[in-house]
Amino acid sequence: MSQVVLFEELATRHGKRIGVATLNAEKTLNSLSLDMAKLLDERLGAWAKDPEIALVVLQGAGEKAFCAGGDLQLLYRAILEQRAKGGEAAREPRGNAFAEEFFELEYRLDYELHTYPKPYLCWGHGIVMGGGMGLMAGASHRVVTEVSRLAMPEVTIGLFPDVGASWLLNRTPGKSGLFLGLTGAQLKAADAVFVGFADHVVAQADKQKVYAALQDLDWTGEREHDDKLLTDVLRANAHEPLPAGPLRENFDLINDLCGRGSLPEIVDAILGLQTEDPWLQRAQQTLAAGAPGSARIAYDLLRRARLLSLADVFRLEHGVALQCAARGDFGEGIRALIVDKDRQPKWTHASVHEATRAWADEVIFESPWTADTHPLAALGR
């Protein structure tokens, strides 16, 4: 059985080393599994403390994806096992040991990447979605290529844009973050840079040229100096300018649609839009097919997280993820989209008009822990 994450250290001309981690599960589009997260957490932690490691790089194996999301098969099995208990045990947010372990480790890892003490380059080639966005969002230097596709499409599986997405989407231009969270709309390279999901566009064919240039640099271990070295190499190898993407072209329209007074009004406006734009049509279709409860959660999370610290956003989302697994539409979404693939989910709510703020407050946003007992209590402290 092959190792799900490959690690290597590249020598540099002046003696420092570059740590390279490669997600190695091409058959699942490098979807993040619990085993992957454990390996990454251990090695990246060790590299952070090693004074001879100047730079850390995270990439995906193959040409299709950096990381297409989380590996949901074991999560689904654990959800079914919890449901089989019946009664209140089937709805207890802390009643799913696997989900607790997976989400705690994933959230802790992604927070550590946001606060990594060394330059961290994420090479986001191909598909970057869901859990892949969580791994990429915190990188100091985020590269996309001419074929990258980025999205947070969790509304389609009854979850919500998670692993810090409430922080990320609140920092996009205008109302674009809300639109992306509700519709799961996919972004190519130009739009990914426009909304702040990526920093540089580099041709995939130039990847090895970039890596060779990084090995030829005089890394010092001084953060500001080394960040600039990395930035200069990426800028020197930048892809030729790309035309504006559909999000930027429709930016004013998106601000108008998502500037309505309530979630039902926003959703009705998006779904009622008459357009020939295929990108907007796909966004409409995804929103229409997605879980209304997930749209409510995504909307309310952006409101709740707007003034929170990064650590508090991670703590908030972590609890919501467990509630979604135990009491939300997450299991049904995985079944319909990934397991049975019938694409006929039976959502808890028929529309966002039924998925009210009162429901979310009572069922989804109730924390499974007190502040002191939260497994992520130490983040940022």
Catalytic residue among 124, 126, 131, 132: 131
Task: List, for residues 306-329, the tens digit of each pLDDT value.
Answer: 999 999 999 999 999 999 999 999
Q: Is 380 a catalytic residue?
A: no
Q: Identify whether 191 is a catalytic site residue.
A: no
Does 3.90.226.10 match the CATH number of domain 5-364? yes
Instruction: Give the residue-averaged pLDDT of 7-29.
Output: 97
Closest CA to 297 of 336, 254, 355: 355
Residues 6 or more apart in contact with residue 168 via CB below 8 angstroms? 133, 137, 177, 196, 197
**Dihedral sign of CA atoms 108, 111, 115, 121 in order:** positive
pLDDT per residue over 154-195, tens digit each? 999 999 999 999 999 999 999 999 999 999 999 999 999 999
- 181: annotated active-site residue: no
- Given a cut of 70, is residue 268 above it in pLDDT? yes
Determine which one of 106, 162, 191, 329 is catalytic: 162
Catalytic residue among 69, 70, 95, 319: 70
Task: Report the alpha-carbon distance of residue 260 to residue 219 in Å, rounded.
Answer: 50
Name the active-site residue from 106, 110, 154, 300.
154
When pLDDT is averaged across residues 27-32 and rounded to a whole number, the result is 97
Which residues are registered as beta bridge partners of 123?
143
The pLDDT assigned to 105 comes to: 98
Q: Show me where the domains of the chain are located.
A: 5-364
Residue 181 C-alpha from the chain's centroid: 11
Q: What is the percent of the chain where pLDDT is above 90?
A: 99
pLDDT at 287 over 80: yes
Q: What is the mean pLDDT of the chain?
A: 97
User: What is the distance between the alpha carbons of residues 99 and 85, in angstroms, rounded to a whole number?
Assistant: 16
Give the dihedral of Cα atoms 148, 17, 54, 106; nearest 10 deg.
50
Written as six digits, the tokens of 197 are 């999901």
Active site residue 131: yes
The predicted pLDDT at position 1 comes to 54
Provide the 10 A C-beta neighbour count for residue 357.
14
Cα gap 378→381, rounded to integer Å: 5
pLDDT per position as a tens digit, 39-70: 999 999 999 999 999 999 999 999 999 999 99
Residue 2 has pLDDT above 90, yes or no: no
